[in-house]
Structure 1
Amino acid sequence: MVFFYRVAKASEYLAITGSGISDIKLAKKAWILPGQSCTVFDISPVNYTFEVHAMSAEKLPFLLPAVFTIGPRSDDMDGLLLYAKLISPHDKLSNHVKELVQGVIEGETRVLAASMTMEEIFKGTKQFKEEVFGKVQLELNQFGLIIYNANVKQLVDVPGHEYFSYLGQKTQQEAANQARIDVAEAKMKGAIGSKEREGQTMQYAAKIDAQTKIFSTQRQGEGKKEEIKVMSEVKIFENQREAEVAKADAELATKKAGWAQHAQMAEVEATKAVAIREAELQMEVERRNALRQTEKLKADLLSKAVVDYEMKVQEANWELYEKQKAAEAMLYEQQKIAEGQKAAAEAAAFSRQQQAEAELYAKKKEAEGLLAMADAQGAYLSKLLESLGGNYGAVRDYLMINAGTYQEIARINAEAVRGLQPKISVWTSGGEQKGEGGCAMREVAGLYKMLPPLFKTVEEQVGMLPPAWMGTMAAGRASTD
């Protein structure tokens, strides 16, 4: 009897069959008894490299280069038994095992690719890879194999079907077109922003000018108010305060109206800009939808000539679209220029209106001051007339004396007779009585004797009578000596 002891290496297992073993016995070391057979197999993973020929749902062929690292799982004895049965008559690098693995991978890849469009495969490469690995792993489980690693390279065109190359050209052209669109849009935003800033500058300048004129008018009005305040009484001061409150209310209402106008203008401009941008985006969406439909038709036709023709048509349409966008940008710029000019004209009109209102307000306040002064003088005269018992002559005489009217009359008469040699008449009421020469009242009596002829002379020359409180002159009592 011949028996021997076998020991497997670190990456190997012993597969023992024969007497005393019902199926297959796996071990790292064992005694090989007579009637038993021992096979050593390696469990280290093996790399399989190949290109899978597949076809999409649109009947588009393509190549899928892939590298799979496949081997048995060392911690799963059931899987090792299945793997041992697979390679027992072959080597792990034999064509049998490679063809088996390749057949499983190609079959599952073709089935999955046939259910997906080329666009879905190209855009969802990661998802496509995961689904391929999942389905391949299910098939390899029956052979005790597991995918340790798998790498899928870039999809490759089949000679005569250059779909991916055209798709790359299309992506490159779309990127270039999008860059040109972005540049044009940036220029448009710059031009619009510049015009908006110029318009705002003109509006603010007009607003400041109007406020300066209003402030100047306010200061002038305040000076007049102080002058009127000194010359008037409490009632005039209260009227001035009420006028200041009304003026503040008017200024606040004016500013609110201006702010509301600016807010409405900004809202309208923003609405129009949003509408224009929305129209542009809608046009872009429709253009891209049309491009997508065109690409789908090109994929269905699978004709290089049709693709070239569509590319030329697309380029022509794009040139037309660029010209249309340039024309629209120019039209939009002209519209903004016109709006800026309109805003400047409105600001100038607003400034003139503010100036006119300020002048009107000043005239109105001046008239109110004169009216208040007239009211105060009327109150003053009413009070004076009441104090003098309703005697209008006494009021008149008092005002004339207070205003220096009699002094002015005397001065004018003196000026009139200056340089002349007038005939002087002396009036007296009679001869001196005996005993009056030494009386202290003689001078006073002489003064009173002069008054009647003086009043008579004034009446004859200027037509004025003496005031009632100075007495009346009896007719025929004055005598000329």
Structure 2
Amino acid sequence: MYKVASASEYLVITGVGITDIKISKKAWVLPGQSFTVFDVSPVNYTFEVQAMSAEKLPFILPAVFTIGPRVDDESSLLKYAKLISPHDKLSHHVKELVQGIIEGETRVLAASMTMEEIFRGTKEFKQEVFEKVQLELNQFGLLIYNANVKQLVDVPGHEYFSYLGQKTQMEAANQAKIDVAEARMKGEIGSKSREGQTLQNAARIDAETKIISTQRQGEGKKEEIKVKTEIKIFENLREAEVAEANADLAKKKAGWAKEAEVAEVEAKKAVALRDAELQKEVERMNALTVTEKLKAEFLSKASVEYETKVQEANWELYKKQKAAEAYLYQKEKEAEAQKAMAEADLYKRQQILDGELYAKQKEAEGLKAIAEAQGVYLRTLLGALGGNYAALRDYLLISGGVFQQIAKINAEAVKGIQPKISIWTNGDAAASAADGGALGEVAGVYKMLPPLFQTVQEQTGMLPPAWMGKMDTNN
């Protein structure tokens, strides 16, 4: 069956397929499930809580609380559905639960405060009660929507508030009487003060008028002014005597008005004191005005001097900063120039070293190529001579001009010492020339070899190679 709750109601469904309970405004109630409808509208609970203050003074706190489920929190609704909804919200059980929480928290809070604190701080006391009660109601999912704490009431037999009200009323009445008396006194004093001020102002104005008039009339009327002044003084004295006589008569006739006369004297004193105070205030204000003027003058001068000094200091600082910046810029440029020169010098040196290294590398490569070529050459010669190292040595000596160098060195050595030279021939030179020109020359050279080899052997200890001939060392 499909069930729908009204605007202020909720459905609580339990049974098959639901672990605990399900709260909804509308839902299908399946077979094996049951539902209950509970109302969430708040209810008014009226209590008269009896409590006792810290001084052991009992009192009654009338209060009206509007309490209902917290509908904006699902967990609070679950608590309310489990704990409160099975009971009628107007039932005695729910009322006792709420009343017990409110009375308990109110009594605990009242016991920690004096009666004066409770009476004077009713708003704070009410707020404390609300907060404490709300903490306890949270565990049942309830919320205080509104609360109204009425005026504290006395417990029969303990009329504290009534006596306190009487005391306040009497104090107010006495204060009103005092205020009336003070107002009357102020009125009389003010009246007398106004009259005195009027007479003083009139006398002062008359005197000023007469002085001005007398000054304008010239020196010729000085005597007349003097006479008039004496007459006026006499009249004032007489008027003062008459006023004093009238005052004495009034004192004799009105003994019961002694307080009024005292008030009049006090008024006169008050006027004098007020006049002195006003004069003192005027002098003080004048002194303050002069002081402020001097302060303003000195302060303006000091401010100008200060601004001047600040401007001068700022200008000096600005010049020093600019000089420092220029010096720093110059040093930076010099450092950059030195860095550039160093980099150029380093680059030049690197180029020179790279060139020398390249030349050395090429020279080494050339020497390596020459050595390789010589190796190939020697291997080729050695192969051609059949591996005879002695023949290879002799060939290299001859091809390298070693013997010629030896002969040259020997010739240089024996030059100028008239060496002994022997020339051998085998027959007539003319016949030899006639037998054949070229062969004769060869034969002559060959005939010269043995003595040459012998001379070389004697001077150097070296023997000619085997292919050129072998000398007999026995002869």
Task: Give the TM-score, by structure 2 length.
Answer: 0.47
Larger Rg: 2
Q: Tell me: higher relative CO, structure 1 or 2? Use CA pairs within 8 A at least 6 residues apart.
A: 1
Task: Give the TM-score, by structure 1 length.
Answer: 0.46
